[in-house]
């Protein structure tokens, strides 16, 4: 184990978390990400037992998840493995496919509502031009948010993950926090 100490995308030693009324936003520093692309003519594999999902879908099982990011391309997630060489583990699962390490390419923010779907949808109304009704549980999409590109993953009715570029983590947190705070007012 290296003797260097990592920092989170927001630059802290511990992930940031804040509550805004019914919404809480938490930096998910433990989420490991690696992209998986099929080589030409390759059939979709099933890494970690995941059935790679169709367009705009996301699946998860046993601490692993996958969401569609483009044709023949997915992002594979592993909860709590952010500090490991997850891309190498994925590559071992799918040696024929193209795998690229993406964990530190992104900053993940998990938004949890304590009052059902409504606060999540209200937050989406302020931030993204995506109809919340079209981003139900099990769906994922990529879109623009305050001039940044983000993945939105509807993990549950009351849970939404917003995954944006790591170097923009501060700006993304600012956008999410300001919108959440205004919903409180």
Of residues 43 and 71, the one with the C-beta less far from other proteins: 71
Of residues 59 and 169, the one with the C-beta less far from other proteins: 169
Of residues 61 and 137, the one with the C-beta less far from other proteins: 137
Phi-psi group of 156: left, alpha or beta (phi > 0 → left; psi -120 to 50 → alpha; rest → beta): beta
x/- binding map, residues 49-78, to other proteins, per CB under 8 A? ------xx------------xxx-x-----
Q: Binders of other proteins: how many residues, by CB under 8 A?
A: 63
Q: What's the CA gap between 108 and 42, in Å, rounded? A: 30
Q: Does 113 bind other proteins (CB under 8 A)?
A: no
Span near other proteins by CB under 8 A; candidates 18-26, 45-53, 57-65, 174-182: 174-182
Half-sphere exposure at residue 86, Cβ-oriented, CA atoms within 13 angstroms: 26
Q: What's the CA gap between 93 and 106, in Å, rounded? A: 22
The number of angstroms, rounded, from the C-alpha of 87 to the middle of its chain's C-alpha atoms is: 16
Pick one of 9, 52, 108, 120: the residue that binds other proteins (CB under 8 A).
Answer: 9
**Alpha helix stretches (DSSP H) within 76-135:** 86-93, 117-127
Q: Does 136 bind other proteins (CB under 8 A)?
A: no
Q: Does 44 bind other proteins (CB under 8 A)?
A: no
């Amino acid at each position: 184990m290296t003797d260097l100490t990592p920092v989170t995308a927001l630059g802290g030693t511990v992930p940031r978390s804040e509550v805004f009324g019914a919404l809480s936003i938490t930096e998910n520093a433990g989420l490991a990400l690696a992209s998986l692309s099929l080589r030409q003519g390759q059939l979709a594999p099933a890494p970690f037992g995941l059935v790679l999902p169709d367009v705009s879908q996301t699946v998860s099982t046993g601490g692993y998840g996958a969401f569609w990011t483009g044709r023949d391309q997915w992002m594979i997630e592993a909860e709590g493995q952010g500090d490991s060489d997850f891309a190498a583990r994925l590559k071992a699962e799918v040696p024929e496919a193209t795998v690229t390490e993406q964990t530190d390419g992104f900053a993940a923010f998990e938004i949890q509502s304590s009052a059902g779907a409504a606060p999540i949808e209200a937050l989406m109304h302020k931030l993204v031009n995506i109809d919340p009704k079209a981003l139900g549980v099990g769906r994922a999409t990529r879109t623009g948010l305050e001039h940044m590109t983000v993945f939105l993953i509807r993990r549950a009715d009351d849970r939404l993950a917003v995954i944006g570029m790591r170097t923009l983590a501060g700006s993304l947190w600012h956008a999410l926090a300001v919108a959440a705070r205004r919903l409180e007012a």
